């Protein structure tokens, strides 16, 4: 869909969001709490038929962030859900793999490198770290030495 229509439709889920930020013409960020990420993702993928691109997991000092990147190819816009995972002790979030098959690998990868648990993921086993990598060491966390 064209950009104007996209922006109008995004306002339909405003109640699930903390804020909407537009950094450039073609880049929109939807900020939300972790609990709402699944329904916003479902809205983008199923209702708006946006294409799933990838998820970026970030260790942000006071919380974790999962950025779900989607693409509206008709207008070249990247719509990113920025979900804040506030619990640093036991970070977890609902898996979107049951509705977006393409998310299976990246959720496993984030689980490996950041230690975020993805609830109801159908296959949450190791993906990129070798078999004997020590449990509990998450290489992309800030406290792990570079």
Partner 1 sequence: MKKTLQKPVLAVGPFHPLQEEMEFFQLTVDGETVTDIDVKISYNHRGIEKLSETLQFDQIPFLVSRICGICSASHPLAYIQAVEEIAGVEVPERARYVRTIINELERIHSHLLWVGLGGHFIGYDTVFMWAWKYREPVLDLLEEITGNRNNYGNVRVGGCREDVPDEMVPKILKELDKIEKKTDMLTKAVLDDPVLHARLKGVGVLSKNDAVRFAVTGPTARGSGIAIDVRRDDPYAAYGDLNWNVISQPEGDVFAKAVVRLLETFESIKMVREALQKLPKGPIAVEVKEIPPGEGCGRAEAPRGETFHYVRSDGGNRPIRHKVRAPSYVNVPSFKASCIGQHIADVTLTLAAVDPCYSCTERLAVVDGHHNVVHDYEALLHMSREKTARITKELGAPEFKLEDA
Partner 2 sequence: MSVKIWSLKKSVWVFHVNTGACNNCDIEIVNMLTPKYDVERFGIKLVGSPRHADALLVTGVGTEQAVIRLREVYRQTSKPCAVFLIGACACGTGIFKGGYHVAGPVDEIIREVDPEAIIAYVPGCPPKPEAMISGVVKVLSAL
Cβ atoms < 10 Å from Cβ of 95? 22
State the residue for tokens 């290489």: 139
- Any contact of residue 139 with partner 2 (CB under 8 A)? yes
C-beta of 141: minimal distance to partner 2 in Å?
11
Q: Of 5 and 133, which CB lies nearer to partner 2 in the complex structure?
A: 133
Which residue ranges make up the site for partner 1 (CB under 8 A)?
23-24, 26-27, 29, 51-54, 56, 58, 67, 69, 71, 73-78, 80, 100-102, 104-106, 125-131, 139-140, 146
Q: How far apart are CA 113 and CA 141, in angstroms?
A: 7
Nearer to partner 1, 9 or 139 (CB): 139
Residue environment code for 52-66, b if the CB has 16+ CB neighbours within 10 A, otherwise e: beebebbbeeeebeb
How far apart, in Å, are the Cα atoms of 22 and each of 7, 32, 80, 123?
Answer: 10, 15, 10, 35
**What distance in Å separates the CA atoms of residue 73 and residue 60, rounded to the nearest whole number?**
30
From the list partner 1, partner 2, none, pick the one residue 132 interacts with, judged by a Cβ distance below 5 to 8 Å according to partner type.
partner 2
Q: Taking CB within 5 to 8 Å according to partner kind, which of partner 2, partner 1, none is near residue 3?
A: none
User: Which parts of 44-103 interact with partner 2 (CB under 8 A)?
Assistant: none
Shorter beta-carbon distance to partner 1: residue 15 or 31: 31
């Amino acid at each position: 869909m064209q950009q104007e229509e996209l922006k109008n439709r995004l306002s339909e889920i405003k109640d699930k969001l903390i804020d909407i930020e537009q950094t450039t013409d073609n880049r929109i960020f939807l900020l939300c709490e972790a609990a709402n990420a699944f329904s916003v993702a479902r809205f983008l993928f199923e209702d708006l038929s946006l294409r799933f691109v990838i998820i970026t997991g970030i260790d942000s000092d006071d919380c974790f962030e999962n950025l779900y990147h989607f693409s509206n190819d008709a207008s070249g816009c990247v719509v990113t859900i920025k979900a804040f995972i506030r619990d640093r002790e036991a970070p977890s979030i609902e898996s979107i793999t049951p509705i977006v098959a393409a998310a299976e690998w990246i959720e496993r990868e984030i689980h490996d490198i950041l230690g975020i648990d993805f609830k109801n993921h159908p296959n949450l086993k190791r993906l990129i770290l070798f078999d004997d990598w020590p449990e509990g060491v998450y290489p992309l966390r800030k406290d792990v030495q570079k």
